[in-house]
A and B are shown apart, each in its own frame.
Chain A
Amino acid sequence: MVLDVTAKDDKGNKIFSEQKEYVQYGLDVDGDMRYGAWQIKRFADTTLQPLAVKREHMAIPVAEGTKTVDVSITLKYDHPGAKLEIPIYSLKKKVTFTY
């Protein structure tokens, strides 16, 4: 599952892009990432925990003189193996600056 935040300035240039990944990486006894269920003995876990809110903050630096910035925030659930992507949330917002 990936939270993607992208911002473009009023000229259409991408000025910010950041992804937060929520995933459970299986690790073997040596602490190396593995895919096999028989190899996995512990996890590096950044998944969303049940009944909990995960709050993400990001600060987007904007060049002086920029009048508008288009911000896009999306959350998608992807299954790379099955080539399946489930869009969960999407917000597009224009942020305006006056000088």
Chain B
Amino acid sequence: MRYLATFFLIAAFIFALPLAANAEFNTIDDLAKAYSDETCKGCHAKIYDEWKKSYHSQSTIHSLGGIRNFVAVGIQKEWDRPINKKDLMKCFHCHAPQLSQASDELAVKIGKLIVAAVDEKDEAKKAAAKKELEKLNVGCVICHNTIVNRPAIASLGVPEKDAMYGPAEVSAPHKTMKSNIIKESVFCGQCHGIYNPPDSDLIMCNTLYDSYLNTYTPYGGQQTCQDCHMKEKNRGHTFPGAYVADIVKEGIEVTADATGYKHLTGTKWVPRIIVTADIYNKSGHRTPDG
């Protein structure tokens, strides 16, 4: 029985991974299934649980307001265009890269769901739209395959469709590949910095990586994103950031004091207090950032 279970598990990997590669999907469920993390959960339960708590697992719905504004105000109102996949990818290049494999019709449907999940007056329809969009996130397959080589695609090439890329050489029931770039800040920076889409209309969603590159490292900073947001305190795949008190406090050190003295104005002494506050940003990027 145990062997049979193992067989099905291996078979599940073999059949699950290739789906994510070259297909075009017409429904959210098919797209979500191709990128499902449920198969990974079987062997990587701890990592899965960590990821589930992270904002990567909510990468679409956590940013719903901003993406809705891009669709309803940016695409439709300011640019006067119908909802279209090319423009939607300006958000989903990072918020759910699997959308690149959606058919044009599915992409438009997702764009409409984004607007409905915020603007819909009927609460039941609004909740239903949100529930659908919860299926679009940045999961295991996205980071460990789909986008792993993206910042150096010309030299590293397109990831092998049935392999999972990680920082170490390991053996697993599925094909694994050792990746150096996944340990580098540029891997995170591909999404946590200014995005330059194919049509060159810059999307300044956040500028963390730009600050890391242009200020932190020139001032001698040597840690990577992964050092602070994953390795430190065994944070793993929870990737804590600006919404988590622990890491926010860790990045800022304050020394302050207030001292009273008598101030001389002409011939008169008046009481006065001098306040000094030194705020040291120990983190690897400007704080705060989007």
Contact = CB atoms under 8 A, between A and B. Distances in A.
Interface of A: 1, 3, 5, 7, 16, 22-24, 26, 35-41, 43, 45, 47-64, 66, 69, 71, 73, 75, 77, 79, 81-82, 84, 86, 88-89, 91, 93, 95-97
B254 interface: yes
Contacts of B127: none
B252 A75 contact: yes
Interface string B203-239: 1110100011001100111000000000000000000
Contacts of A39: 74, 78
A38 B252 CA distance: 30
A57 B90 CA distance: 43
Contacts of B290: 24, 37
B256 A73 contact: yes
Contact of A57 (B74, B221, B274): B274
A61 B273 CA distance: 7
B139 interface: no
B242 A77 contact: yes
Contacts of B78: 39
Interface of B: 65-66, 69-70, 73-74, 78, 90, 201-205, 207, 211-212, 215-216, 219-221, 242-243, 245, 248-249, 252, 254, 256-260, 262, 270-290
| Residue with the highest number of chain B CB atoms closer than 10 Å, among A26, A37, A60, A62 | A37
Contacts of A49: 211, 215, 281, 286
A40 B210 CA distance: 15
B254 A89 contact: yes
B257 A93 contact: yes
Given A58-B274, A64-B271, A73-B256, A51 B221 contact: yes
Interface residues of B, dominant DSSP: mixed
B204 to A, nearest CB: 4
A50 B216 contact: yes
Contacts of A37: 66, 70, 203-205, 290
A7 B65 CA distance: 38
Given A36-B70, A37-B203, A50-B284, A55 B277 contact: yes
A22 B288 contact: yes
What 7 A-B pairs are tightest by C-beta distance, nearest first?
A89-B254, A48-B281, A62-B271, A60-B273, A37-B205, A50-B216, A95-B260
Given A7-B273, A35-B66, A50-B211, 7 more contacts: A5-B275, A37-B205, A38-B70, A43-B207, A50-B219, A57-B276, A95-B260
B273 A79 contact: no
Contacts of B242: 77, 79
Contacts of B254: 75, 88-89
B260 A69 contact: yes
A41 B256 CA distance: 35
A37 B75 CA distance: 12
A59 B283 contact: no
Given A48-B279, A49-B286, A56-B277, A88 B258 contact: no
Given A57-B274, A59-B273, A51 B258 contact: no
